[in-house]
Amino acid sequence: MTHTDPYLWLEDVDGDAALDWVRARNAETAGALEASDAFRATEKQILEVLDSDAKIPPIGKAGDWYYNFWRDAQHVRGIWRRTTLPSYRTDSPEWDVLLDVDALAESEDENWVWHGAKVLRTGPLAFKRALVSLSRGGSDADVTREYDLESRSWVADGFVRPEAKGDVSWIDGDTVFVETDTGPGSMTESGYPRIARRWRRGEPLADSEIVFEGAHEDLSIGAFHDRTPGFERDWVVRATSFYTAERYLLTDAAGGDLELTKLDVPDSAEASVKRDQLLVELRDDWTVGGRTYAAGSLLAIAFSRFLTGDSADGGRDFTVLYEPTGNSALAGYAFTAHRLVLELMTDVRSRLEILTLPTTPDGTWERVAAHHVPELGTLQVAPVDADEDDAVWLYTTDYLSPTTLSLLDLGSRGVNARPVPLKSMPSFFDAEGLVVEQHFAASTDGTRVPYFVVRPHDLAYDGTAPTLLYGYGGFEISLTPSYSGGLGRAWLEHGGVYVVANIRGGGEYGPTWHQAALRDQRHRAYEDFAAVARDLAERRITSAAHLGAMGGSNGGLLTGNMLTQYPDLFGAIVIQVPLLDMQRYHLLLAGASWIAEYGDPDSADWDFLATFSPYHLFDADRAYPPVLFTTSTRDDRVHPGHARKMAARMLEAGKDVTYYENIEGGHGGAANNAQAAHMSALAYRFLWERLA
């Protein structure tokens, strides 16, 4: 069908005809939805949340300084700044501003969007230089420049990576690893770097030393330096697909040659090395050393023994740090200098476990009780300085409790560690009278699918409550309870019900939960979401006429399938930065990188891909609920042509379609707080006007 697609011209991202079509649709939306007082009030309320000075400034430590990037009403594009920990503890920290992105954008006449910075941490220039990345309009492609933190200026002879998808990272003050576009053949078919280089100060990028070359069909190649004192190592990661990778230890052999030692672990596993411990997180069952370890397990072994040994002498005798159960999974982990903190989920509810690293290759891991740590909606930890101490940042949140940031010191064996609150977000909406509950819906094959409901405590249960059902269901991403001031103001305070479905395809129950909806099993994710929709109606929380669905990216594919496969279950649907044409997705921008998730349309996989390709499932003779499509011209991850073509096809058939495309924004849909508030207000007002 691709060669007869009448809307193929809308894939020309910056083509005059395509942009004329976009502007016409945006104008229609402005007249129909954005002109109301209710829209402007909602947009203002959301922007107040995003611009609030009372938000928690997240910080990262480098040397004696704590760095933060901040946006508000006065700093639309943001400022990069730093402070000290004693100052941060106060109500009004003293911030040392390093870079004003608004001023930079104006002086260079560019629509710069901040993409992050890496501070040099070793050598004579330690904490004096940084690699700063900036994107035009929010696209994934960006530029990287070396910045002098003392003079607040770009380094005249510094490292500069031209605009491309890629990365630069420090090895030492005069050397970096770089992966970027250096000409024909240097990028994979997915649009990511194929070559990793070691780039020395002063030499042309094209002449820099190649340390690894992948294949054209790989996903991407990356290299990085582990600077842990006493355990400095260089690594190369060859991502062969979204879920498989080869990991190599890179060393300089005699005679100047490079030596690559491949880690003998499953390509589907995640592996990391801290000091002398190798950790392996399994996506699949693994039999090694005469023992089988279950998918979802976290294993550990002394790295020195692993490199030199074999199964016969214990070189493959792993310690199981975590093994999943039927309703629990590993959500993540974080190293400190002497500890390992496990983030665990049981039925999508968080808890922590703390372990002490062995001090010798033959030593044992010791579990330490995590006293005084709350067990509520979501807990997340991050090391303050993984090389120097055992402190972690602890974030706690749920749907009704504003996020709190605490400092948790796990030294002295962590037995009496108490979180010390540092910052809390304000309450942006009135949560009085709201309750959160968890239910389980039975999917088509009988699987119990958990979902959270945020509702008024005095809900009438007459099926009339405007209800927003949100989901994602892909790429091992878990949807856990979190606080949103914008959602609270725009939806909950008006009496709306908010529901989050933890469908298969996500990571809520580990890799098996994700794999249950891969490729030809994709329909399971959509059956799960539909089951939650039906369960809401059966409980009389809402009914089809008052139930809306919303999702973005892979979640946009989800809601696109709700639109085309389950239109009778919903009163309105919001589809954001979506994939919709599954016959051509792999040919558009980064689409080829997701073949491991969805399948290859150029093979027999099209037989099952066609069953969840909304663009091909659309039937002009069928009735559909009102739909809002939103996307971004500058999205160079998921092509805006998906949303454009689907909207055009439906409009020609006379369906109720609202369309808005942000000219900036990247895959996130917005390049600044004002744009983010506008996009959110569009979604909430569209749903409220059609469901209430």
Say what the pLDDT of residue 314 is: 57
Exposed (0-12), middle (13-18) or buried (19+): which is 319, by Cβ within 10 Å? middle
In CATH, what is the architecture of 119-262?
A: 7 Propeller (2.130)
| DSSP H helical ranges for 516-553 | 523-538
Using DSSP, state whether 51 is helix, strand or coil: helix
216 flagged as catalytic:
no
Using DSSP, state whether 215 is helix, strand or coil: coil
The residue-averaged pLDDT of 14-28 equals 95
Give the residue, 415 or 459, on which the prediction is more confident.
459
Which of 166-180, 260-274, 348-362 shows the lowest mean pLDDT across its residues?
348-362
- Six-digit token string for 219: 């996903």
Which of 15-19, 309-313, 493-497 shows the lowest mean pLDDT across its residues?
309-313
Sign of the C-alpha dihedral computed for residues 538, 544, 550 and 556 taken in this order: positive
Task: Please say if the pLDDT value at position 684 is more than 90.
Answer: yes
| DSSP H helical ranges for 132-173 | none
Find, among 285, 151, 177, 307, the residue nearest to 235 by Cα. Answer: 177
Task: Tell me, rounded to whole angstroms, the distance of Cα 308 from its chain centroid.
Answer: 36
- Distance from C-alpha of 338 to C-alpha of 408, rounded to nearest angstrom: 14
Residue with tokens 């009389």: 540
pLDDT one-digit tens code per residue, 607-640: 999 999 999 999 999 999 999 999 999 888 899 9
pLDDT one-digit tens code per residue, 85-110: 999 999 999 999 999 999 999 999 99
CATH number of 17-48+449-691: 3.40.50.1820
Say what the pLDDT of residue 411 is: 83
What is 570-637 written as a DSSP string?
A: -SEEEEES----TTTGGGSGGGGGGHHHH--TTTTTHHHHGGG-HHHH--TTS----EEEEEETT-SS
Find, among 339, 476, 345, 466, the residue nearest to 411 by Cα. Answer: 339
Which strands make up the sheet holding 167-172, listed edge to edge? 167-172, 175-179, 195-200, 209-213
Task: Please say if the pLDDT value at position 374 is more than 90.
Answer: no
Catalytic residue among 639, 667, 678, 680: 667
| Same fold: 17-48+449-691 with 119-262 | no
Say what the pLDDT of residue 202 is: 95
Instruction: Give me the count of residues in the chain.
Output: 692
Using DSSP, state whether 472 is helix, strand or coil: coil
- Distance from C-alpha of 75 to C-alpha of 57, rounded to nearest angstrom: 14
The residue-averaged pLDDT of 238-259 equals 91
Which of 170-184, 365-379, 580-594 shows the lowest mean pLDDT across its residues?
365-379
pLDDT one-digit tens code per residue, 410-420: 886 555 678 89
| Res. 664 pLDDT band, cuts 50 70 90 | low
Give the residue, 673 or 483, on which the prediction is more confident.
483
The residue-averaged pLDDT of 178-198 equals 97
- Give the CA distances from residue 677 to residues 281, 494, 585, 669, in Å, rounded to whole numbers and listed in that order: 38, 18, 29, 11
DSSP letter, residue 203: S
On whether the CB atoms of residues 307 and 262 are closer than 8 A, the answer is no
Catalytic residue among 406, 553, 593, 613: 553
The answer for residues whose C-beta is within 8 angstroms of residue 483's C-beta and 6 or more apart is 397, 398, 399, 400, 401, 402, 403, 425
The residue-averaged pLDDT of 532-550 equals 98
- The number of CA neighbours under 13 Å toward the Cβ of 661 is 25
Task: Please say if the pLDDT value at position 196 is more than 60.
Answer: yes
The answer for residues whose C-beta is within 8 angstroms of residue 61's C-beta and 6 or more apart is 67, 384, 385
pLDDT one-digit tens code per residue, 382-392: 999 998 899 99
pLDDT one-digit tens code per residue, 509-521: 999 999 999 999 9
142-148/129-136 β-pairing: antiparallel
Find, among 626, 625, 632, the residue nearest to 678 by Cα. Answer: 632
439 flagged as catalytic:
no
Domain boundaries, the chain: 17-48+449-691, 65-110, 119-262
Say what the pLDDT of residue 254 is: 73
At residue 641's C-alpha, the angle toward residues 636 and 643, to 5°, is 105
Say what the pLDDT of residue 415 is: 55
| Res. 2 pLDDT band, cuts 50 70 90 | very low
